[in-house]
Amino acid sequence: MLDTAGPMIDSNDPAPVLSIGAVSKKFDSLTVLENCSLDVAEGEIVTLLGPSGCGKTTLLRCIAGFWDADSGGIRIDGRDMGAVPVNRRPVGVVFQSYALFPHMTVVQNVGYALRMLRMPRSAVAERVSTALETVSLTGLEDRYPSQLSGGQQQRVAIARVLVMEPRVLLLDEPFNALDAKLRGSMQVELRQLIKKLGLTSIFVTHDQEEALTMSDRIAVMRAGRIEQAAPPEEIFDRPATAYVADFIGMSNFFSGEAQAGAVLLPDGQSQSTELQGPVKVMIRPHNIRLVDAQDQDWRGTIAFHRPVGPLIEYHVDVAGDQIKVLSMRQQQSQIYADGACVGLQVIDPASCSIYPGAH
């Protein structure tokens, strides 16, 4: 007879490669991580994003085994890592400072850990050559780090981790030492490389643009907690909390009062909500349209404007508050000058986010 009482296994939802389960960590009396849980699927890139000091590196160090969590645990492929020491975890870490050995060539740097494992020379040579090809460094084998550009040193650091064939790749702010332009191109390059290799990865940054570029999912951290973990579009369009809304992208906040299932927006339109009482309303700058001031209740004066690529960013002074507005340049029949009196309208009330509490 068939046993139908067993657990249901959903074949569309495979077991995560990395599972962070309710990890908490204190340094003396300072709580640095509080009940952090996150599952990372095969081949997924998840970014830990949050301000300096929120616990990103500490969480990474718990995964790699440099720190023990006070409570909670790390599993890789279902195996509890609690008793597994750093050098036995199937994890590769790329640190912010590349920590290349200055007296070793590219080949020696990349092969170092394999030689330490006493792998035969020919096998080391083969793995190193594959890793260098993967990060497009073939031809630079005999250079020393000081003879490489920042971007090339970065790639050596990545090759040095890839050569170990880790199950999980951890990257802690790997682009910090690069200038803005190189950073941008390295982000796209590294994302494509990780995706091609299918490596399950955690990427750490405090830069929201970088997070939006690199990630399949972003976990926004605040003071040791994961506040929301979701794909980039969802984080941007439907931030779960006012903190996330404020942290990602430009935002305007207004105080409101929710009554009978609705809240009045500043332009007089309303948006439905399940909340009741004082609320915060968040409206993205691209969800506001500037119109002639005539007949508008919501109006103000342009305090500042500037072109941002194909957009224009306006700061509109409304009763002492500056409201940010982003308009497409070509859709703007008229570009408003500083000092002009304008009306403001919410384009799509349903895209406004409502949060409990006064601002």
Burial 47-58 (b: 16+ CB within 10 A, else e): bbbbeeebbbbb
The dihedral sign for the CA sequence 80, 84, 88, 91: positive
Token duo for residue 196: 């091609």
Q: Applying CB under 6 A, which of residues 12, 52, 294, 333 lies at the interface with ligand ATP?
A: 52
CA 215/CA 192 separation, integer angstroms: 11
What residues have CB less than 8 Å from 48, skipping those under 6 apart? Answer: 56, 59, 60, 202, 203, 204, 205, 219, 221
Q: Total number of residues binding ligand ATP (CB under 6 A)?
A: 11
Q: Looking at the DSSP assignment, which residues form a beta bridge with residue 228?
A: 220
Residue (32 or 163) nearer to Mg ion, CB: 32
Q: By CB under 5 A, tell whether 47 contacts Mg ion.
A: no
**Which region among 54-62, 86-94, 133-141, 258-266 touches ligand ATP (by CB under 6 A)?**
54-62
Q: By CB under 6 A, tell whether 231 contacts ligand ATP.
A: no
The CB-of-11 to ligand ATP minimum distance in angstroms stands at 37
**Which region among 55-63, 66-74, 280-288, 309-317 touches Mg ion (by CB under 5 A)?**
55-63
CA dihedral 52, 55, 56, 57 (to 10 degrees): 100
Q: Which does 27 bind (CB under 5 to 8 A by kind): Mg ion, ligand ATP, none?
A: ligand ATP
Q: How far is CA 123 from the centre of its chain?
A: 37
Residues within window 2-31 making contact with ligand ATP, judged by CB under 6 A:
27
Phi and psi (nearest 5°) for 130? -65, -45
Number of Cβ within a 10 Å radius of residue 207 = 16
Phi and psi (nearest 5°) for 15? -60, 140
**Which region among 57-65, 272-280, 318-326, 327-335 touches Mg ion (by CB under 5 A)?**
57-65
The CB-of-178 to ligand ATP minimum distance in angstroms stands at 16
Place of tokens 């999912």: 217
Q: By CB under 6 A, tell whether 55 contacts ligand ATP.
A: yes
Binding string, residues 187-226; x marks residues near ligand ATP by CB under 6 A:
-------------------x--------------------
Q: Applying CB under 5 A, which of residues 57, 228, 252, 353 lies at the interface with Mg ion?
A: 57
Contact (CB, 8 A) for 236 and 45:
no
Q: Are β-strands 168-172 and 200-205 bridged in parallel, bridged antiparallel, or unpaired? A: parallel
The CB-of-152 to Mg ion minimum distance in angstroms stands at 24
**Which region among 49-57, 70-78, 100-108, 267-275 touches Mg ion (by CB under 5 A)?**
49-57
Q: By CB under 6 A, tell whether 183 contacts ligand ATP.
A: no
User: Would you tell me which residues interact with Mg ion (CB under 5 A)?
Assistant: 57
Residues that bind ligand ATP (CB under 6 A): 27, 32, 50, 52-58, 206
